[in-house]
Chains A and B, each alone.
Chain A
Amino acid sequence: MSRRDVDEVATRGRGSAAVSSGISRRRYLRTSALLGATGGLAGCLGGADDALTVGFILPFTGVYSLLGESIVNGFEMYVDEQGGEIAGQEVETVSRDTEADTNTGVSAARELLVESGADVLVGPVSSAVAIAMMQTVENESSAIWLNANAGDYRIVQDGCLPYHFRTSFNDWQTSAPLAPWVYENVADNVVITYADYAFGDNSRRFFGEAFEEAGGTVVDEIPVPLGTDDFSPYMGDIEGSGAEAVYSFFAGSDAVNYVTQFHEFGLDQSMTQTGSGFLLSEDTLPAQGQAALGKFSLLHYTSTDESERNQEFARSYADAHDTRPNVYACQGYDSAQAFELAVEEGDTDPDAMAEALRGAEIDSPRGSFQFHPETNDPVQNMYVREVVEGSDGPENRVVETLDDVELPTWGCSVN
């Protein structure tokens, strides 16, 4: 049973339920995002009985707020394109702000599933939050979970949940497939620099293993604390390693600091910088500027990709938000597409929805992708991009497409 009747919600709602009918969807989304930050709001009580309930479990404040906002923007855009409906049904959304806090993640998931009666969970951004949520999603078994960002492979390895579908990527995908390409096209030895936390450490390991398997040598590995402002102490170690190329995982402000300081210290002249796509992305390139030029990275979405599907997506996103879509917006958009597909086949029954999505193909702006039949991870194209001078400053240009990269399953088989 996916939808809980009104009485049940009311008794479980600790009096925090809010009436949501009669407010426009867009406005409601915004209001609930705001209220979500202070807690105490639940969705479906008094709402139209046949409406679908979407539970956003995302950061709307703090360091990841840009990511949460972009995912919602992408999701909303797809719903708008369908005339405000999903599979012909009205959509209500309830938002919970997770910040980056695992405890908030668990209680937010429970609230969305139990009190709001969400038919789908969209999010989170942080893998730590996702790992904390797994048990709750499994216990409730009342909704499908479209993971619109959290990329830690352990969600598949340890969770292996039939309701969990990644509309994003896993950390193996954004690191390992680049290794053979670097070995063949750039250098046969590398130094690896990475942000010293779970995702950075996974990326380091996956890239290193794949690079040595391809025949290359990893000369040195340099961990840098998350949130470092000054990378200069590490620049000496990078230069001193004697490697011809660097592979890095950094994101956000770390990526800005690292790339610009790499350039300022003149390392560009002796080494080639490569990395995961988050190192050189839509949200960091404007700040990195000229320092980003000539650097290579790997990601599953590139906003400048010239396919018609993406051009159309990028145009309407730019019309609505006055900026190019980033990878997170694409992941939000595809979550909405996946949800529609699931509802068309399975209405709101979570098992039927999950059954419909297993192995299904999504026509995404990133190029169509398929949910892996064993793990529900996306089997997708990965793009090697180089930063070049574009019409409005540095931008990524795809130099090679790695088609439908095969994925490890880490022993998971959802069936």
Chain B
Amino acid sequence: MIESVLRATLLGLQLGVTLALVAAGLTLIFGMMDVINFAHGALYMFGAYFGLLVAETLGSFWLALVIAPLIVGLIGAGIEVLSLRPLYGRNPLYHILLTFGIAIMVQGIVVQVWGARSRRIPAPELLTGSVSIGPVTYPIYWLFVLVLSTVLIGAIWIAIERSDLGILMRASAHDTEMVDALGIDVKRVFTGVFVFGAVLAAVAGVLLGASRSVHPGMGFGVIIEAFVIVVIGGLGSFKGAIYAALLIGLVIAYGALIAPALTDLFIFGLMAAVLIVKPSGLFGATEAA
């Protein structure tokens, strides 16, 4: 019993921090640009597939972990500049349709290029095998994902709270016109944030691509969880996304322990409960910044 709970907790935390990597970008992009980015899951999937490509051609997981997110970052820049930028300030429906279309296109591209078969990024030799944590046997690779994701999320948190860039980002989100009036190119800040979100999603894609299967449906699977997290945490709130991601990770893990068939019910039940009590989400702005 203790063993199951400990194992579920470890899994829940690991799932939570990796989901946080995906949700962080989603919430920042919404917070700053008011864009509901349905293509975010597609970028996560692109991360996994480019990771697969790099890992197979160069034979190194570590290079995949660095190169694939950079490629996806470039693609993110292309998407932001060429398709989103002309639509800022319009009805949000434009963005939803656009990014949803991009997500479908990416899925089509993946099926054409890599086929529909499930694949896997080979995990590095160094991280194979498992260790004993108390009574639980736990794969080393999963621990690595937990630690690396935690470090990344922690670093981003500090950067957003403390660095000048973080202040600029928060300011741009808070009052775009004022920042623009101060002579800062908000357009470039927007592109930067979109690319940053794409890179984080791709890192998550590569990390999970070695412990889960990589397949053309994975983008749509993760985007639902990520949206639930962003809604629970409060739209646009980075801090909220992190807390909500950990919460959802643990709900999924404990849910599997108690009633596997009801996991989705727990997740959406939690979302409903949060929205009833606090319609703007846990850390959502109370309205009109």
Contact (Cβ within 8 A) A252 B142: no
State A260–B214 Cα separation when bound (angstroms). Answer: 13
The reply on A223 being an interface residue by CB < 8 A is yes
Contact (Cβ within 8 A) A230 B261: no
The reply on B74 being an interface residue by CB < 8 A is no
Contact (Cβ within 8 A) A63 B253: no
Bitwise interface map of B from 1 to 22 toward A, beta carbon under 8 Å scored 1, else 0? 0011001100100010000000
Residue of B3, B116, B136, B256 contacting most chain A CB atoms (<10 Å)? B116
Query: Which residue of chain A has its CB nearest to the CB of B264?
Result: A225
Contact (Cβ within 8 A) A224 B260: yes
The reply on B171 being an interface residue by CB < 8 A is no
Q: Which residues of B contact A253 (CB under 8 A)?
A: 118, 212-213, 215, 217-218
Partner of A233, one of B7, B138, B215, B216: B7
State A164–B153 Cα separation when bound (angstroms). Answer: 56
The reply on B105 being an interface residue by CB < 8 A is no
Measured as residues with beta carbon below 8 angstroms from the partner, the interface class of chain B is 35 or more
* Known A196-B260, A196-B261, A265-B137; contact A229-B117, beta-carbon cutoff 8 A: no
State A71–B156 Cα separation when bound (angstroms). Answer: 48
The reply on A266 being an interface residue by CB < 8 A is yes
The reply on A234 being an interface residue by CB < 8 A is yes
> With A232-B142, A234-B256, A265-B139 given, can you name 6 additional A-B contacts, CB distance below 8 Å?
A225-B264, A230-B212, A256-B213, A265-B137, A286-B117, A287-B117
Contact (Cβ within 8 A) B116 A66: yes
Query: Which residue of chain A has its CB nearest to the CB of B6?
Result: A236
Q: Which residues of A contact B214 (CB under 8 A)?
A: 287
Contact (Cβ within 8 A) A233 B11: yes
Contact (Cβ within 8 A) B261 A225: yes
The reply on B115 being an interface residue by CB < 8 A is yes
Partner of A65, one of B15, B116, B118, B138: B116
Contact (Cβ within 8 A) B212 A63: no
Contact (Cβ within 8 A) A236 B118: no
Contact (Cβ within 8 A) A225 B116: no
Measured as residues with beta carbon below 8 angstroms from the partner, the interface class of chain A is 35 or more
* Known A63-B217, A233-B11, A253-B215; contact A223-B120, beta-carbon cutoff 8 A: no
The reply on A411 being an interface residue by CB < 8 A is no
Partner of B118, one of A224, A225, A252: A252
Contact (Cβ within 8 A) A236 B4: yes
What are 18 A-B interface contacts by the 8 Å CB criterion? A63-B217, A66-B116, A229-B213, A230-B15, A230-B212, A230-B252, A232-B7, A233-B11, A236-B3, A252-B118, A252-B215, A256-B120, A260-B213, A261-B139, A261-B211, A287-B213, A287-B214, A289-B122
The reply on A237 being an interface residue by CB < 8 A is yes
Q: Which residues of B contact A116 (CB under 8 A)?
A: none
